[in-house]
Amino acid sequence: MNKPILSFLCTMTLLCTSCGGEAPHPAGPYRIDIKTRSDLYAWFRYTPTRPIVVSGHRGGMISGYPENCIESFEKTLTLMPSFFEIDPRLTRDSVIVLMHDATIDRTTNGTGRVSDYTLEELRQFRLKDRDGHLTEFRIPTLEEAIRWSQGKTIFNLDIKDVPLEFMSDFINRLAPNNVMYTVHNADQARLLLDRDPQVMLLTWCRSMDDYRSYRKAGIPLRQTMAYVGTMMYGDCQELYDTLHNQGVMCMISVATTHDRRATEAMRQEGYRLELASGCDIIETDYPYLFLNLDLNRP
């Protein structure tokens, strides 16, 4: 087992042994140090005894820390190891920045579409946290985020309005080993793979038909993990078994389900249900709410 993977698993073991509430959590910051593409493939390789991994949706959200913000990624890593789903968009002057919505109204003290502003114009605005409180933090560029992330974490790019060819050229120029793409179908996967044969992909794979489409397109499974939906469904066990037999991890997202419950206690109650469902990765707006939950396999 290589050193980055061993380091991560040791960290996860320490974290999980403190989840019963008796022992204190080990001090951060936590790091996922991916040095090569092989490290990245190995990090996402399914093993049945590995603790469940928590991923920060839009980078994770804590009071005072906005989504899609470098300072928020750093804050989460002081609490726990995590990788982050982030949302690239294009400015008017073709700079890739991090912003989930097409407009800046919800997440900043400005208004209007991201694509109507230059980067310099966007820099004047300050980011808001999930509760709408204004912070001192500013909209980062994707390049700034990637350069910050080296030796610290993994980014999963959920591309918004950036053309895939443009994004591929940009990523290929920077050549980071700790970045992967979300793709919604085999055609998108094939396009990115043709432009970078070593690319790592999070594939939307919610049925056996989806699985077969990726296989038909020749997508190497060792370079993928699978988003299988908002939960693990009983009638999809063939899919999960097939993916696991190929070493592919299954990720669910609770961003549109349990994350929307009214209180933190209610959210954690929902998370416990999913932790026992057989998933390998849970994507959430609130990674810190998993700190006192048992991430070990049932």
Could you write out the DSSP letters of every residue in 47-78? -TTSPPEEEEGGG--BTTB-SS-HHHHHHHHH
Which DSSP letter does residue 139 get? P
Using one digit for the tens of pLDDT, what is the confidence trace for 267-289? 999 999 999 999 999 999 999 99
Backbone phi, psi, residue 162, to 5°: -85, 120
**b or e along 95-107 (b: 16 or more beta carbons within 10 Å of the residue's beta carbon)?**
bbbbbbbeebeeb
Residue 84 parent element (H or E): strand 83-86
Question: b vs e for 14-53, b when ≥16 Cβ sit within 10 Å of the residue's Cβ?
Answer: ebbeebeeeeeeeebebebbbeebebbbbbbebeeebbbb
* 224-229 and 250-253 strand pairing: parallel
Domains of the chain: 3-290 (3.20.20.190)
Residue with structure tokens 């056996």? 208
Closest among 158, 144, 171 to 37, alpha carbons compared: 171
To which H or E segment does residue 187 belong?
helix 186-195
Distance CA 50, CA 28 (A): 21
For 70, the token pair is 């470098």
Tokens of 55: 């991923």
Q: What are phi and psi of 155, to 5 degrees?
A: -110, 135
Alpha helices in 18-154 (DSSP H): 37-43, 70-79, 119-122, 142-149
pLDDT at 170: 98
Our measurement of the distance from residue 151's CA atom to the centroid of its chain's CA atoms, rounded to an integer in Å, reads 16
Residue among 112, 58, 80, 46 nearest 280 (CA)? 46
Q: What is the pLDDT of residue 20?
A: 34
> Considering all CA atoms of the chain, what is the largest pairwise distance in Å, rounded to the nearest integer?
53
Contacts of 16 (CB under 8 A, 6+ apart): 51, 294, 295, 296
- CA distance linking residue 295 with residue 271, whole number of Å: 10
Contact criterion met (CB below 8 Å) for 82 and 60: yes
pLDDT in tens, the chain (298 residues): 444 444 444 444 434 333 333 334 556 799 999 999 999 999 999 999 999 999 999 999 999 999 999 999 999 999 999 999 999 999 999 999 999 999 999 999 999 999 999 999 999 999 999 999 999 999 999 999 999 999 999 999 999 999 999 999 999 999 999 999 999 999 999 999 999 999 999 999 999 999 999 999 999 999 999 999 999 999 999 999 999 999 999 999 999 999 999 999 999 999 999 999 999 999 999 999 999 999 998 7
pLDDT score recorded for residue 104: 98
